[in-house]
Structure 1
Amino acid sequence: MQRLIAIVGPSASGKTSLGVNLAQPIGGEIIGADSRQVNRGMDIGTAKPTQEERAVARHHLIDVVDPDEPFSLGRWLDLAKDALDDIWSRGKQPLLVGGTGQYVWALLEGWRVPRVPPDGRVRAELESRGPAELVEELRRVDPEAEGFVDPRNVRRVVRALEVYHATGKPFSHWRTKEPAGFESLVIGLRLGRQELYRRINERVETIFATGLVDEVGGLLAEGYSQELPSMSGIGYREVCEYLAGELDLETTIERTKTGTHRLARHQNSWFKAGGGRIRWIEAGDGAVDEAMRLAEAFLETPIRSALHEATPYRT
């Protein structure tokens, strides 16, 4: 049976670097599992792999759509499966790397995902009714959805109702699973909250110093509306408000840090749901060696010797 290695964890935990380091000695290729990195032209704010990292290991599912193109879990899943088949057909080892838990578990657990494209008309009608009414309808038509659709996330509630109205079946119906068809090793990067927040704050400072404001300004100048889902992501939303004169730069940076802290907590909750499937390792200097050890045992192939023959990529 084919095998897949996944590397998961919250923002700024070091997933990209670890993935590149692990891919190098095994001839691996990386499949991105990040819902924001699929958008072209949104490089700095989403912390996409650098050109150097992409030169070391080929990356898939990055720069897939323009910022104003609808993109769903179902489409990502189809593309991820295509990428897996392509990588395996060439005798390479795929690595799934990212922090979007919904993407990761959908692929690893064989979720049945409805192929219902976003419908602007239906969404506008639903959104016009207000969050409280939407949550009440979802509880009425799909009581089981409350276990995995956060009622505070209006976009997720709208999507659940959109699927229900399009298919006539509750959103929870589509949570059933099929055999994934491959074996998987899931490596999780873990670090304490204080250190995680320090890393996040450092990353946010870096993305602002390296041109996030110019990136967002360029997207707006190209005609991409700040109302687009892609432009409402952390960092982009705050910079739009800054460029509109609604925030000063210091507040913009601080709100981006706080929003990313909140995102990291949400990501961790997704991965905790994986229970014992995840082999947690400490993020830091020893992470690469520990991941190599786990990968060797999983692939039943010595790879650390191959690493010594290559020039290791480490950050």
Structure 2
Amino acid sequence: MREIDQKLIVICGATASGKSALALEIAQKLDTLIISADSRQVYRDFDIGTAKPSPLEQKLVPHYLIDICHPQEVLTVAQYQGYAQDIIEKSRSIPLMVGGTGLYIKSVTKGLKIPPVAPQAKLRSQLETYSQQERYAFLQKIDPISCEKIHPNDDTRTIRALEVYYVTGKTISAQQGENPPSYPILHLGLHCEREFLRQRIATRTKKMLEMGLVEETEFLISKYDIDLPLLNTLGYAEIKQYLQGEISLSEAQDLIITHTCQFAKRQQTWFNGYPEIVWLDVSSSQLVPNAWEKIYQFIHKKY
């Protein structure tokens, strides 16, 4: 890697905050590429409900890590990290990493050491036959260090820690850590007041429905089966309820807005934990000039 001149710009924030639009404009100014950091945009056919960049937008600026997986596959964080690191290393410009999946971004910017263990369906099924109290007791015996970070009620992380141990024979705590890249990184975060964001989410939800979110969901059900896990994610799950006659389309729309707002709040909480992020006000008429000023200073700073 060209450690001296390599740099990375991250544009992050809650869903519907305008990350993609800002990134598209900045990328054209810089004549660079965009690396998507969205855990659902990696899957083919899931377009409208994931707010995937349009074909025209993808022609204007090269986008990477979009449509790279079959919907029945599972892309691990370790795989995403490897793909993204390879793109950054080979880039002849300053790439933009853009998205709201905090763990994807952190895996690259912090250089997370991730145990190379894909989800083990059979093992997880076996672990799920035990209560969370029993699983946590198992973990306390084999990996007390992890238990200092994992809450007794956190079944997801408990199962993951046990899964890693049983597959590799080593505790997850012994395999974790950070190895941050040596190149400079500028973190730009998009922030807006809660009510303003809710309005943006409502507008985007309405637009998704007008673009054919219902029809897209019907197509995905017919192609991949109604029990596909991705169809239980934000936007698709509510439309699936509508298609099954459980709720009206209006109720589905309201639920999507509510659930998206809740998701956005969780995203904001995650990103608030990173002091390196420079926050920009989405509602400001000077958003693009403000972002460009930070980027210009970053590009020309001597490291």
Q: Does 1:214 align with 2:215?
A: yes
Give the letter for the 2:237 counterpart.
R
Query: Residues 184-226 of structure 1, C-alpha deviation per residue, up to 9 Å, x if partnerless?
Result: 0000111111111111121112112211111111111013342
Shift of 1:165: 2.1
On the 8 A contact 2:72/2:228 being kept in 1, the answer is no
Q: Does 1:197 align with 2:201?
A: no
> 1:211, 1:138 → 2: CA distance?
46
Secondary structure of the corresponding residue to residue 95 of structure 2 = strand
Structure 1 unpaired stretches of 5+ = 302-315
Aligned match of 1:306:
none
Shift of 1:139: 5.7
Shift of 1:246: 2.2
Give the letter for the 1:97 counterpart.
V
Secondary structure of the corresponding residue to residue 241 of structure 2 = helix
Aligned match of 2:109:
108
Aligned match of 2:163:
162
> 1:45, 1:226 → 2: CA distance?
17
Query: Residues 146-180 of structure 1, C-alpha deviation per residue, up to 9 Å, x if partnerless?
Result: 67667777545433332232223333444311131
On the 8 A contact 2:143/2:173 being kept in 1, the answer is yes
Aligned match of 1:242:
242
Aligned match of 2:256:
256
Structure 2 CA distance for partners of 1:252 and 1:156, relative to 1, 3 Å: farther
Paired residues in the alignment total 296
> 1:203, 1:151 → 2: CA distance?
38
On the 8 A contact 1:67/1:224 being kept in 2, the answer is no
Q: After the TM superposition, which of the residue ranges 245-254 and 286-295 deviates more from structure 2? A: 245-254
Aligned match of 1:298:
298
TM-score (norm 2): 0.90
Shift of 1:145: 4.5
Matches of residues 1-315 of structure 1 in structure 2 within 5 Å? Answer: 1=4, 2-87=6-91, 91-131=92-132, 133-134=134-135, 137-138=138-139, 141-142=142-143, 145=146, 154-228=155-229, 230-275=230-275, 277-284=276-283, 285-300=285-300
Shift of 1:51: 2.0
> 1:162, 1:299 → 2: CA distance?
43
Structure 2 CA distance for partners of 1:13 and 1:142, relative to 1, 3 Å: farther
> 1:249, 1:136 → 2: CA distance?
45
> 1:151, 1:237 → 2: CA distance?
29
Secondary structure of the corresponding residue to residue 180 of structure 1 = coil
Query: Residues 219-270 of structure 1, C-alpha deviation per residue, up to 9 Å, x if partnerless?
Result: 1101334242x22211112222222222222222222111111111111121
On the 8 A contact 2:186/2:298 being kept in 1, the answer is yes
On the 8 A contact 1:226/1:237 being kept in 2, the answer is no
> 2:128, 2:228 → 1: CA distance?
14
TM-score (norm 1): 0.86
On the 8 A contact 2:13/2:191 being kept in 1, the answer is yes
Secondary structure of the corresponding residue to residue 222 of structure 1 = helix
Secondary structure of the corresponding residue to residue 63 of structure 1 = coil
Structure 2 CA distance for partners of 1:36 and 1:137, relative to 1, 3 Å: farther
Shift of 1:291: 0.9
> 1:195, 1:139 → 2: CA distance?
45
Shift of 1:126: 2.3
> 2:273, 2:174 → 1: CA distance?
19
Query: Residues 31-87 of structure 1, C-alpha deviation per residue, up to 9 Å, x if partnerless?
Result: 000101101000000001122221221100010101101111011111111111222
Q: After the TM superposition, which of the residue ranges 291-300 and 137-146 deviates more from structure 2? A: 137-146
Aligned match of 1:307:
none
Structure 2 CA distance for partners of 1:180 and 1:238, relative to 1, 3 Å: same
Q: After the TM superposition, which of the residue ranges 292-301 and 151-160 deviates more from structure 2? A: 151-160
On the 8 A contact 1:111/1:174 being kept in 2, the answer is no
